[in-house]
Amino acid sequence: MKEEATLRKSLTLFQVVFLGLAWMTPMIYFSVYGIAYENSHGMMTQAYLLAFIAIFFTAFSYGVMSKKYPTSGSAYAYAKRAIHPYLGFLVGWALLLDYLFSPIIACLTFGIYLHAQFPSVPAYIWIIALNLLLAVVNIIGINFSANLSKLFVLIQIGFIAIFCTVLVNKLMSSGQPVQPLFSGDVPISVILAGASIICFSFLGFDSITTMSEETIRSEKTIPRAIMIIIFTAIVLYTGPSVLTQLAFPAMTFDNVDTAGFELVKMVGGAGLSSLFITVLIMAIFTQGLSSVVSVSRLLYVMGRDSILPKRCFGFVHPKLNTPTNNIIIVSVISLLALVIDLEMAVKFVSFGALSAFICVNLSVIAQCYWKDKQRSFTQTIKYLICPLIGACFIGWLLSLLDKDALIMGLVWLLLGISYHLYRTKWSTASRTGEAPDLKQPTSV
C-alpha cells in the first residue's frame, strides 16, 4: 500500500519566528499610523503598551495549547479537542475569515501602492502578478518561503532602525526642550480607544501555530516563537512611537490613510520616503507569503479531518511536501482582490481573528483547569485567571467592531453552520464510506 504524503518537519525556531513576523509585518506601524494617532490623540506609546498587555494573555494561551496539541490546526484544533468538535468547526470556520482574507489584503495593498507609483500600469496587473508569485513560492516549499521572509523582515527592521536613528539625530540637533512623554491631559478612555485600533498590529503571532507539523520539536519551539514574536513587535512599535512622540508632540496630516508616508517624509525627506515605499512593498509581499502558508495549512488539517472534502483539501504533494491543492485554491480566492473593498476585507479579518482568540483562551480553561484538574495556586493563575483576562480583553475588542463587521461575521458563521449540517447529512446518507467521527480527535 502506498504511503500517504505528509508535511515534513524542517522549520527551526528562527524560521518560524520570521514567518510570524512576516505575517504581522513590522512596517504596519506606518500603515496604521494616521488612524492610530487620531484615535489615541497622539498617545501612541501608551496605546501600544496597553495593546501589548491585551494581546499578551492570548499569546500565552496559544503557547499553552500548542504544547498540549502540536498540530497544524491552530485554534480550530484546540477548541475541537479541549471543548467540543462542533465548536472546533465553528472556530475553524471563523478563522478562515482571518486567513483567507489576509492574502486578499496583501494583493489589494500591493496593487494600490504600485499603481500609485506607476499610474500607467493598472492595479489589476500588480494584483494578478503578486497572486501568481505567492502561489509559486509557496508550492516550491515552506523552507524557501521562510528564508525569503527572513530576508525581507530583516530589511523592514533595518528601515525602522534607520528611521529611529534619523529621529534621534533630529532630536539631538534641534536644541529644543523635549516634551514629557506621559501626560495626564488625555483621558484613559481615549488611550484605550487607540489601543483597540493598535491591537490589530499584533495580529499574526497566532499564524505560526498552523506550522506546528512542519516545525522541529514544535511543542517547545512554537510557544517560544510566539513570545519572541510579540516581544519583538512591541520593541519595533514602541521604539519609533516614543521618538516620534518626543520629536512631534502635535501633528496634523493631509490624509489619514497616508499619514505614515507623510511622517517618514517629514523626518527624512524625499530620500527616506523613497526607501520607505520600496521596503513597504517588500513588507506587503512577505505578509502575503506568510498568510498563504498559514491558510493552506489550516485548510489541510480541516481536510484531513474530513471537515472539508479530504481528497482535495487533505492532499500533500508527494515530492514537494506542500498542500498544493490548497495553495491553488487560496490563489483563486485571492483574485477577489480585483473586486472587493479593502475596508470590507479588513473587517472580515478582524472578526475572524478575535473570535478565534476568545475560544483559544476558553480552551485553556477547559483543557487545563477543567479536564486536567490543574488547580494549584500557580496553575489557577496560569490556566484560569490569565485566560479569563485574555478572553475579556479580546471580547471587549470584538464589541468595538462596527455593526457591519459583526453582521458580516455572523452571516459567515451561519453559512458555516449550514455547510456543516449539509455535510453531516450527506455523510450519514452516503453508503460508500464511513462518515467522519467528529467526536474523536484525529491523531497527529
User: From CA 141, how far away is CA 321, in angstroms rounded?
Assistant: 7
Confirm if 232 and 6 have CB atoms less than 8 A apart: no
Tens digit of each residue's pLDDT (9 = 90 or more) over 322-343: 888 999 999 999 998 888 877 6
The more confident residue out of 162 and 74 is 162
Give me the pLDDT at residue 376, please. Answer: 95
Confirm if 336 and 390 have CB atoms less than 8 A apart: no
User: From CA 145, how far away is CA 150, in angstroms rounded?
Assistant: 9
User: From CA 360, how far away is CA 159, in angstroms rounded?
Assistant: 34
Contacts 24+ apart (CB under 8 A), 437-442: 438/85, 438/86, 438/89, 438/305, 438/307, 439/85, 441/77, 441/80, 441/81, 442/304, 442/305
Q: What is the DSSP letter of 314?
A: T
Beta bridge partners of 141: none
For residues 383-409, give the mean pLDDT: 87
User: From CA 111, how far away is CA 284, in angstroms rounded?
Assistant: 10
User: From CA 231, how far away is CA 24, in angstroms rounded?
Assistant: 12
Q: Where are the domains of the chain?
A: 13-427
| pTM summary value | 0.81
Give me the pLDDT at residue 64, please. Answer: 94
Lowest mean pLDDT among 61-65, 379-383, 406-410: 406-410
DSSP per-residue codes, 193-242: HHHHHHGGGGTTGGGGGGGGGGBTTHHHHHHHHHHHHHHHHHHHHHHHHH
User: From CA 15, how far away is CA 210, in angstroms rounded?
Assistant: 14
The more confident residue out of 435 and 177 is 177
Nearest CA to 162 out of 27, 15, 22, 20 is that of 27
Q: CA dihedral in degrees (105, 100, 9, 72; nearest 10)?
A: 130
The more confident residue out of 198 and 78 is 78
Give me the pLDDT at residue 231, please. Answer: 94
End-to-end distance of the chain based on CA atoms, in angstroms? 20
Q: Answer whether residue 289 shows pLDDT above 90.
A: no
User: From CA 266, how far away is CA 238, in angstroms rounded?
Assistant: 19
Q: What percent of the chain has pLDDT over 90?
A: 24
User: From CA 16, how far away is CA 208, in angstroms rounded?
Assistant: 6
Nearest CA to 49 out of 181, 206, 201, 238 is that of 238
Q: Answer whether residue 247 shows pLDDT above 50.
A: yes
Q: Answer whether residue 157 shows pLDDT above 70.
A: yes
Q: What is the DSSP letter of 57?
A: H
pLDDT band at 151 (very low <50, low <70, confident <90, very high): confident
Confirm if 259 and 36 have CB atoms less than 8 A apart: no
φ, ψ of residue 215 to 5 degrees: the values are: -110, 135
DSSP per-residue codes, 333-396: HGGGGGTS-HHHHHHHHHHHHHHHHHHHHHHHIIIIIIIS---SHHHHIIIIIHHHHHHHHHHH
User: From CA 420, how far away is CA 429, in angstroms rounded?
Assistant: 14
Beta bridge partners of 11: 215
Domain 13-427: top CATH class: mainly alpha
Cα distances (angstroms) measured from residue 410 to each of 60, 194, 199, 323, 345? 27, 25, 22, 29, 15
Confirm if 316 and 282 have CB atoms less than 8 A apart: no
pLDDT band at 366 (very low <50, low <70, confident <90, very high): very high
